[in-house]
Amino acid sequence: MSERPKTSSKPSPTKEELHRSAWQKLKHEDLGSAVHICQYLNSTFPDYPDGWHISSHVALKLGNASKAKSYIEKALSIQPSNPVWQIQMAQCLQSLGQFSSAIKMARELALKVFKTAIQYSALGRLLTQQSEYSLALEAYQAAIKLEPTIGIHYYNKAAVQRFMGDLRGADQSATKAIKLNSTYYEAYLLRSELKKQTIGSNHVAELESLLNKGINSWRGKVQVCHALAKEYEDLDEYQKSFQWLKEGADKRRANMQYDVSNDEQTINRIINTYNQGTFKKGIEGHTSKEPIFIIGLPRTGTTLVERMLGSHPDTHSMGELNNFSQQLMILAHKAKKDEQMSRNDLVSLTSTLDFKKLGESYIESTRPFTGHTTHFIDKLPLNFLYAGLINLALPNAKIIHLTRHPIDTCYAIYKKLFKDAYPFSYNLEDLGKYYVAYSELMTHWQKMLPGKIYSLAYEDLVQDTEIETRKLLDFCKLSWNDACLNFHQSAEASTTASAAQVRMPIYGSSVRKWRHYEDQLTPLIRILQNAAIIS
């Protein structure tokens, strides 16, 4: 693999040319080519730290954090004080679940004075990943000070402002990013999502003009299509909204490799593996009562419930944590000594792990952010896949399952442009099939764990907020607190797809919104009807 491809009599590429080429391949997600270039670059120029740095980024993108760490360690052995290499090391530590070390390193880096805006931007991204939003904002402001005419710095600032609830500031920063770089399409989408657009104040003409002129980047087209769909829906122009939504979703789906049958098979293997016999073995878990897990599909009200519970003085919200699945994978790979396994084999292996150790590892991985309140909230919707495993590892943890009308759920997922997660969300048939598999798994967990998973319907919460909140607090063994009803006044940051909505009181306008698109959603509806999920 490290041999250089045969070429003509052209001169050999320089290390700088190879480095630029590797970054381009990574940017366009041509990871196979990026790996090939990095292997040749590092074997030919082993003392070139930039080569090891880009290799670390490629390895992280491929999900191999251990290898990414070893690559950046080589870069640091050549240039120990390079802040960019240090930032990448902190990101690798975080990906490996070594959160305390990663946080310590990031906070030390935040105290340094960097020379370039690129360095401050990299630091800002790291601090954002670690929920250090105030420090991240300072880093992005420092980048702006050094490069006041570069739009991406303002976009990064806007994203953090949105997380922190400064929606007006986020709008100003996103607008500035667009003014400086009219082709930074992600900023258009962020700006559209910050508030409900009105007849007197919207960006429809600007967005349509962009699409009519043509957008070379498929990602950019997807982002602008979703922005336009969102604004047309705000204006009650439902036909136009779905037209642009479908065009954006189709384009996104065409540019990804995904087969929903793989997820269906995995879920079926989970059901078959974690059967009645598994739960009758008397498996001992960790005794901690701290975690409250909020699970379900995205766009079902999980963020709303997180904000409500997180407003209670005895809880602390950790947002969407990957920690449970991460610790599960770490233990599984140790058991197989990092051998490659199929997803089905991996599911089978997990049932043989030390669940008490898994629970302990999970709790430890959340430190130092947890432990200062009686409970902490882990609101990762996809933890529904692990509900049974969570109960085995942490039998005293509370698990709350959010539900919503199936078609409302699927439409809300379909119209949201997620960054990387939920690849099933851009095609109505994929979405319907995934929903059926999800429904079957949750039915299985409820059967295996009677009384252990609290189901809460979004529609009930919207209609009878105080009654449902009291029942929810009783399940969590939390006393009543008025702050839970005033969650929208909380200054806590939110990084989810609902970051703007959680700044508002509860509203019911999203209930049965799918009715506006009943004809367009026919392929999805048929799948749900055939599975007897809806009549």
The reply to whether 205 falls in a domain is yes
Report yes or no: 400 and 375 within 8 Å, Cβ to Cβ. Answer: no
The domain boundary, picked from 255, 270, 297, lies at 255
d(CA 260, CA 454): 28
Give me the CATH number covering residue 282.
3.40.50.300
Quote the number of domains for the chain: 2
Q: Does 244 share its domain with 267?
A: no
Report yes or no: 114 and 85 within 8 Å, Cβ to Cβ. Answer: no
267-315 pLDDT, tens digit per residue, is 999 999 999 989 988 899 999 999 999 999 999 999 999 999 999 999 9
d(CA 224, CA 186): 8
Q: Which helix (H) or strand (E) holds 292?
A: strand 291-295
The per-residue pLDDT for 254 is 96
Tokens 């059901």 sit on residue: 271
Q: Does 212 share its domain with 235?
A: yes
The per-residue pLDDT for 78 is 96
144-188 pLDDT, tens digit per residue, is 999 999 999 999 999 999 999 899 999 999 999 999 999 999 999
The per-residue pLDDT for 165 is 87
The domain boundary, picked from 255, 274, 295, lies at 255
Q: Does 238 share its domain with 370?
A: no
The reply to whether 407 falls in a domain is yes
Q: Does 240 share its domain with 286?
A: no
Lowest mean pLDDT among 6-10, 189-193, 257-261, 277-281: 6-10
Q: Does 354 share its domain with 246?
A: no
The reply to whether 220 falls in a domain is yes
Q: Does 246 share its domain with 275?
A: no
d(CA 385, CA 437): 10
The domain boundary, picked from 211, 231, 255, lies at 255
Report yes or no: 121 and 144 within 8 Å, Cβ to Cβ. Answer: no
The reply to whether 232 falls in a domain is yes
Q: Does 507 share its domain with 412?
A: yes
Query: Is cis: bond before 368, omega within 30 of 0?
Result: yes
Q: Does 333 share its domain with 438?
A: yes
**Domain extent at residue 438:** 260-530
The reply to whether 61 falls in a domain is no
The reply to whether 432 falls in a domain is yes
The reply to whether 8 falls in a domain is no
**Which one, of 50, 56, 78, 81, lies nearest residue 69 by Cα?**
56
Q: Does 326 share its domain with 469?
A: yes
**pLDDT class of 476 with cuts at 50, 70, 90:** very high
Q: Does 396 share its domain with 427?
A: yes
Q: What are phi and psi of 234, to 5 degrees?
A: -60, -30
**pLDDT class of 492 with cuts at 50, 70, 90:** low
The reply to whether 276 falls in a domain is yes
List alpha helices for 111-149, DSSP H: 117-129, 133-146
**Which one, of 419, 71, 359, 86, lies nearest residue 226 by Cα?**
419
**Which one, of 427, 503, 498, 495, lies nearest residue 458 by Cα?**
498
Q: Is the pLDDT of residue 499 over 80?
A: no
Query: What is the reported pTM?
Result: 0.85
Mean pLDDT of the residues in the chain = 91
CA dihedral 138, 142, 145, 147 (to 10 degrees): -130
Q: Which of helix, strand or coil describes residue 154?
A: helix
Amino acid at 64: N
Q: Does 386 share its domain with 489?
A: yes
d(CA 55, CA 42): 9
**pLDDT class of 338 with cuts at 50, 70, 90:** low
Q: Does 236 share its domain with 324?
A: no
Q: Which of helix, strand or coil describes residue 237?
A: coil
List alpha helices for 373-512, DSSP H: 387-393, 406-414, 428-448, 458-463, 465-475
Side-chain-facing half-sphere of 77: CA atoms under 13 Å: 11
